[in-house]
A = this chain, B = another copy of it.
C-alpha cells in the first residue's frame, strides 16, 4: 500500500537522525506535510489543522499527533505502529479556548521529552507563530532550536523509486500540456482551459492516475503575462494575446512542473525575439549543467547567455523540486542563483524556469530535470518553444474547432 518500501522510510529516518545529532537536536517536531509524508507515508489533506510527526533521537518509530478524525488515516496509511498514533479531541480545532499545541506539549511531557533539546520547523507554513508560542509556554524546560529545512535537505537527493515517480509525474505534465493547449483559442474562456488542464493532470495516463499538484495551474494572459502568479478568470482569450501556462504533473505527491507560453494567432515580433533568447539560454544550461557545479555556476550560465542580448534578470533561475503539498511544490532548499554554493549531485531534481517578465508581457518556458552522472535529463518531452495556436479557429456557427 505504501509508495515506498519500509526500508526506504527507515533510511530516511536514520539520515534525519544523523542531522539531528549534528545539530544537537534530541526531539524533532515535523509540521511540514511533505516532511511528514517523507518520513512516515502519511498523506491526507488534514494539514489545515495542527498536526505533527515527532521524531525522538533514541526511539525507533516516529509518533504522529493530530486530530481525532484523522488518526485512522495515520494508522492505516503509514508504517508507524498504531500505539504511536495519538489524537486530540475536536474541541481543540479552531477554538478560542483550546490550542492543539497545549495538548501536544502535554503528550511530550507525559512521554518524558519536556526537558530536551527540541527542533522545530520555524519557517514552515504549518508551524505558526502561535503554535511556537504555545509550545514554549507549556514546555518551559525545553530548549528550542530552529530545525527549519532539516528534513527538506535530506529530500534533496532522490532515490531511484522517487525518480520513477517523477518520471510518471512528467508523463502526466507533458500530456496535460498537449491536451490543455488545444483549448486555447480566441473566444474560448480562460477557465475552460484551466478546467482542461486540471482534468488531464488528475486523470493522468491510462497507467498512472494523477494527483492534485501543490499549486494550481497558472494562466496569466495578455498584459497579465507580466504577473507570474495569477491563476485564471472567466474572460475570453483574444487574437494576438499570449498566455503563460505553468502546471505540474503529480504522482505519489512527487511533482514535475512544466511551463510554456502560447501565442493566439501570429505572435508579436518582441515575443518571438524573447522566446529565442529564453530557449537559447535554457538549452545552454541543459547542455552544460553537470554534477560538481554549484547552483550559482548554473545560474551564471543562464545570466551570461541572456546578457549577450542585453538582458539582466534578478529572479533565480530555478529551485529544487519533488514531494510536496500546497502551497508550494518547491523544496525551499537549493536555489539556482547567485550565492547558492550547493554542489550538484546525481539525482538532485530542479525546476528550471528561466522566465522573463517585463512591464506588460512575459515569457515562461521551463524544464524539470534530474542531475545525471554526466549531465542532466529532462522529465518531459515537449517542444521547447513558443506554442503557436493559429492552427485553430472557432467556427462561429457551432462554436466548435475546425
A residues whose Cβ falls under 8 Å from a Cβ of B: 43-48, 68-70, 72-73, 76, 89-91, 93-95, 97, 99, 120, 122-133, 146, 148, 189-192, 194-196, 198-204, 208-212, 215-216, 218, 224, 226-234, 314-316, 319, 326-328, 330, 332, 335, 337-339, 357, 359
Given contacts A73-B229, A128-B127, contact A316 B93 (CB under 8 A): yes
- CB nearest neighbor in B for A228: B69
Q: Check B90–A314 contact: CB distance below 8 A.
A: yes
A-B contact sample (13 more), CB < 8 A, given A94-B319, A123-B128, A208-B234: A69-B228, A70-B229, A73-B224, A90-B314, A90-B316, A94-B332, A120-B129, A125-B128, A127-B128, A132-B132, A191-B202, A191-B209, A198-B198
In the bound complex, what is the Cα–Cα distance between A126 and B115 (angstroms)?
Answer: 29
Q: Check B216–A195 contact: CB distance below 8 A.
A: no
Q: Check A90–B319 contact: CB distance below 8 A.
A: no
In the bound complex, what is the Cα–Cα distance between A326 and B46 (angstroms)?
Answer: 12
A167 to chain B, nearest CB (A): 16
Q: Check A229–B196 contact: CB distance below 8 A.
A: no
- CB nearest neighbor in B for A327: B48
In the bound complex, what is the Cα–Cα distance between A210 and B198 (angstroms)?
Answer: 12
A33 to chain B, nearest CB (A): 9
* 10 pairs, CB–CB < 8 Å, chain A vs chain B: A45-B230, A47-B327, A68-B314, A69-B227, A72-B226, A89-B314, A93-B335, A122-B133, A127-B129, A191-B209
A315 contact set on B, CB distance < 8 A: 68-69, 90
Q: Check B194–A202 contact: CB distance below 8 A.
A: yes
Partner pick for A195 among B68, B120, B210, CB 8 A cutoff = B210
Nearest 9 interchain pairs by C-beta:
A209-B234, A191-B209, A129-B132, A195-B203, A122-B130, A195-B202, A123-B130, A48-B328, A48-B327
A200 contact set on B, CB distance < 8 A: 195
A94 contact set on B, CB distance < 8 A: 319, 330, 332, 335
Q: Check A48–B215 contact: CB distance below 8 A.
A: yes
In the bound complex, what is the Cα–Cα distance between A326 and B192 (angstroms)?
Answer: 21
Copies of this protein, total: 2
In the bound complex, what is the Cα–Cα distance between A209 and B208 (angstroms)?
Answer: 29
A172 to chain B, nearest CB (A): 10
A226 contact set on B, CB distance < 8 A: 72
Q: Check A125–B122 contact: CB distance below 8 A.
A: no
A357 contact set on B, CB distance < 8 A: 69
Partner pick for A209 among B68, B233, B339, CB 8 A cutoff = B233
Q: Check B192–A229 contact: CB distance below 8 A.
A: no
Q: Check A218–B45 contact: CB distance below 8 A.
A: yes
In the bound complex, what is the Cα–Cα distance between A168 and B69 (angstroms)?
Answer: 31
Partner pick for A191 among B125, B191, B204, B359, CB 8 A cutoff = B204
Q: Check A209–B189 contact: CB distance below 8 A.
A: yes
Given contacts A122-B130, A316-B93, A335-B94, contact A215 B146 (CB under 8 A): no
- CB nearest neighbor in B for A226: B72
In the bound complex, what is the Cα–Cα distance between A78 and B201 (angstroms)?
Answer: 31
Partner pick for A199 among B46, B190, B198, B330, CB 8 A cutoff = B198
A69 contact set on B, CB distance < 8 A: 227-229, 315, 357
In the bound complex, what is the Cα–Cα distance between A224 and B75 (angstroms)?
Answer: 12
Given contacts A122-B129, A129-B123, contact A192 B203 (CB under 8 A): yes
Interface centre among A68, A189, A209, A338 (most CB of B within 10 A): A209
- CB nearest neighbor in B for A360: B72
Interface centre among A97, A130, A314, A328 (most CB of B within 10 A): A130
Q: Check B91–A229 contact: CB distance below 8 A.
A: no
- CB nearest neighbor in B for A231: B45
A371 to chain B, nearest CB (A): 19
Q: Check B227–A72 contact: CB distance below 8 A.
A: yes
Given contacts A69-B229, A93-B316, contact A45 B128 (CB under 8 A): no
